[in-house]
A and B are shown apart, each in its own frame.
Chain A
Amino acid sequence: GAGVSQSPSNKVTEKGKDVELRCDPISGHTALYWYRQSLGQGLEFLIYFQGNSAPDKSGLPSDRFSAERTGGSVSTLTIQRTQQEDSAVYLCASSLGTGASSYEQYFGPGTRLTVT
């Protein structure tokens, strides 16, 4: 079946502009995660959605970052007033919400964000 998809694959933006990154999880997966991969910081957790529960936003680095998940499926990560330090690859992952198969997360190809 189809895996996790993300768009765009690459995004170049000017400092100060807002960007939106999109994630389409695997059909039937109720859990969705956003991570950021950057040189020097490795892989960092950003935010987690599970069904209709309030998201876990504990990893968001600043209030310029926000995310939503509409209809329990597609998610959008928004970065406002982008800064050069926001340049990274943003990875989305999804997993089944319950049961033993929920433990592994399946990752999308990522969106490479470059802030100039």
Chain B
Amino acid sequence: AQSVAQPEDQVNVAEGNPLTVKCTYSVSGNPYLFWYVQYPNRGLQFLLKYITGDNLVKGSYGFEAEFNKSQTSFHLKKPSALVSDSALYFCAVRVPISSGSARQLTFGSGTQLTVLP
């Protein structure tokens, strides 16, 4: 079975400082990894994904994430945080279709990011 852990329920960072939201995963085989963001009373918005290739992936709104196979991690990062980045962030995993496993995403519990002005 696949699982995702987001060890921090809450992350606070000052505006302009770099931010990191942590994610580790457990899956059989090569993972497909995703980050989504959720603003209040809104659905989830796709930020970025890692499928294969370069371990550093870039996504929307200046976010990036680094896939680390040895540490089974996929931390979300941004060099300079904005107040408008304050939201709930979810990491998710699925396995390749060829493995026969389900196609749905398995989500972490979410991390509330607050960027302080």
Report A's interface with B, CB cutoff 8 A.
4, 31, 33, 35, 42-43, 45, 48, 50, 56, 58-59, 91, 93, 100, 103-110
Contact = CB atoms under 8 A, between A and B. Distances in A.
Contact of B34 (A33, A56, A100, A104): A104
Nearest to A33: B104
B117 interface: no
Interface in B67-117: 90, 94, 102-110
A35 B49 CA distance: 19
Given A31-B103, A42-B109, A56-B104, A103 B46 contact: no
A50 B90 contact: no
B110 A42 contact: yes
Contacts of B32: 103
What 5 A-B pairs are tightest by C-beta distance, nearest first? A107-B43, A43-B107, A45-B104, A107-B44, A109-B43
A4 B102 contact: no
Most buried by A among B51, B103, B106, B110: B103
Contacts of A93: 44
Interface in B26-63: 32, 34, 36, 41-46, 49, 51
